[in-house]
Amino acid sequence: MAANNKFLPEKKSVAIVGCPFSGGQPKAGVDQGPIHLVQAGLIDQIEGLGYEVTFDGHHQFEDVSALADPPIGILKNPRLVSKVSKAVSEVVKQHASNGKIPVTIGGDHSLAMGTISGTLSQYPEAVVVWIDAHADLNTIETTTTGNIHGMPVAFLLGLSTLPEYSWLPSSPPLLTPSKIVYIGLRDVDAGEKALLREHGIRAFSMHEVDRYGIGKVVDMALDTVNPARDKPVHLSFDVDALDPSVAPSTGTPVRGGLTFREGHYICEAIHETGCLVALDIMEVNPSLADAASVAQTVAVGCSLVRSALGETLL
Ligand SMILES: NC(=[NH2+])NCCC[C@H](N)C(=O)O
Ligand SMILES: [Mn+2]
Ligand SMILES: [Mn+2]
């Protein structure tokens, strides 16, 4: 039985935002992630939890894919990523303003610029729980790859600004360092470590998961950003937070990740707060493994969504 939500109408409704987009990173296939998640029955599964589900088909990005888009510095596809995220931001805000929980299925994690800005424009007091092996905090100055999926948090915090991203407010930014917390980190670039320290951004790496256990880590993480459990929560879940043995088919796997249960526990515990207002499931790439591993990764994407929306074990 799903817990009552503190911010949403009693009639439970979810809007699926399907984002077949891969422009924030170089590997083909992550744009097929949302198609696989829907084909695996995600919508029926959410309806099975008692939600009314809106899904108007996957987002069509073709009008922007033909765009002339030379690199800015070493940033790849900078205009394309910006336009797509801006469109996603508007859709997410629209669904949120209608009292629905936007569940965005990616697609690469650059999309979180869109989803989180959409949530914050509807709920300015919302906090972000970011589950990832990576901090995705590189700025234009610190990125060594130029892949924008490693940079969305820096844009959201206003640490990176470009005229091409002027739709994203930077002074003041929508997101501030005290409103985001990370769980699952284990592959953080040197520049990102410096930024985490400099801005006092709270992060629970796999080291803390090992030391305290996931139950305590989620409590501590929520205590830092949402101590009274009275603020809306946006959960942005990169499936590479999970160990590659659990979610093998993703673009930047890193060993030593969350177990199946640790990942699902995070989603269950966020659901139990009654504060979840938006969810992202990102970086499922169905072309990077054998069929069984792809099916396993897609199934885990679906089950994380169900856990965050109130599926319980008993
Ligand atoms: N969303 C992701 N999987 N991000 C991986 C980022 C990897 C690396 N830190 C970079 O900046 O490129
Ligand atoms: Mn990641
Ligand atoms: Mn990520």
pLDDT values of the chain reduced to their tens digit, one per residue, 314 residues: 567 999 999 999 999 999 999 999 999 999 999 999 999 999 999 999 999 999 999 998 766 667 889 999 999 999 999 999 999 999 999 999 999 999 999 999 999 999 999 999 999 999 999 999 999 999 999 999 999 999 999 999 999 999 999 999 999 999 999 999 999 999 999 999 999 999 999 999 999 999 999 999 999 999 999 999 999 999 999 999 999 999 999 999 999 999 999 999 999 999 999 999 999 999 999 999 999 999 999 999 999 999 999 999 99
Q: How far is the CA of 202 from the centre of ligand 3 (A)?
A: 16
Q: Which pLDDT belongs to residue 62?
A: 63
Which is nearest to 175 in space by CA: 140, 139, 127, 214?
Answer: 127
Peptide bond connecting 257 to the previous residue in cis, omega within 30 degrees of 0: no
Virtual torsion, Cα 232, 151, 305, 52, nearest 10 deg: 60
Q: Which helix (H) or strand (E) holds 266?
A: helix 260-273
pTM of the predicted model over 0.90: yes
ipTM, interface predicted TM-score of the complex? 0.98
Catalytic residues: 109, 132, 134, 136, 149, 238, 240, 283
Q: Which pLDDT belongs to residue 67?
A: 80
Domain range summary for the chain, segments of one domain joined by +? 13-308
Nearest CA to ligand 1 atom 10: 150
Say which CATH superfamily domain 13-308 falls into: Ureohydrolase domain (3.40.800.10)
Q: Which pLDDT belongs to residue 2?
A: 61
78 Cα distance to chain centroid? 19
Q: Which pLDDT belongs to residue 65?
A: 64
Q: How far is the CA of 144 from the centre of ligand 1 (A)?
A: 10
- To the nearest 5 percent, what fractions of the chain are helix, strand and coil? 40, 15, 40
Per DSSP, the three-state class of 52 is strand
Q: Are 248 and 277 in contact (CB under 8 A)?
A: no
Tell me if 271 is assigned to a ligand binding site: no
Q: How far is the CA of 257 from the centre of ligand 3 (A)?
A: 13
- Check if 283 has its Cβ closer than 6 Å to any atom of ligand 1: yes
Q: Residue 192 CB: number of other CB atoms within 10 A?
A: 25
- Check if 147 has its Cβ closer than 6 Å to any atom of ligand 1: yes
